[in-house]
Amino acid sequence: MDTAKICLAAVTGVCLCVIVKQWRSDFLPLLRLAVTVLFAGTIISLASPLVAYLREMTASTGLSDYAALLFKALGIAILTQCASDICRDAGESGVATGVELAGKTEILILCLPLLGELFTIVKNLLALAD
């Protein structure tokens, strides 16, 4: 049922954008931003039970630190993609590319402790082989 509401809202938003584009094209970026924020809020509210379930599942396995890292990286990726799409829609592809690069860099920085831990494990395994 939620999917039908989301699709109806999307079609309504697109129709509004077409109408506003014909009458007052200077309001079009604001309307697109409003529709995007509406969808982002809807997606976040729909995803909250999933995130709660995954946190419960990873807490029981002892992998909660890795799951938290994964959720942060996923959030950064989604936020970066939305921001870059908005920039591209506004005709600023250079800014969109910069936003994507910043998001990728932030995910890499976020994963540095995990890489350090992985290198330590590999080092210990190689020491055991000797």
Among 46, 48, 58, residue whose Cα is nearest residue 3: 46
What pLDDT, in 10s, does the model give residues 71-129?
Answer: 889 889 988 988 888 888 777 888 889 899 999 999 999 888 888 888 888 888 888 87
User: CA separation (Å) from 125 to 42, 62, 112?
Assistant: 46, 22, 20
Distance from C-alpha of 74 to C-alpha of 81, rounded to nearest angstrom: 11
Q: What was the pLDDT predicted at 101?
A: 92
- CA nearest to 101, candidates 75, 119, 83, 124: 83
Q: Are residues 118 and 82 in the same domain?
A: yes
Residue 130 and residue 72 in one domain: yes
Asked if residue 55 belongs to a domain, the reply is: no
Same domain for 42 and 81, yes or no, is no
Q: Are residues 79 and 123 in the same domain?
A: yes
Q: How many CB atoms lie within 10 A of CB 126?
A: 9
Neighbour count for residue 4 (Cβ, 10 Å): 8
pLDDT of residue 61: 78
Range of the domain at 106: 63-130
Residues 40 and 73 in one domain: no
Q: What are the tens digits of pLDDT across the range 52-62? A: 887 788 777 77
Q: 120 in a domain, yes or no?
A: yes
Q: Which of residues 29 and 100 earns the better pLDDT score?
A: 100
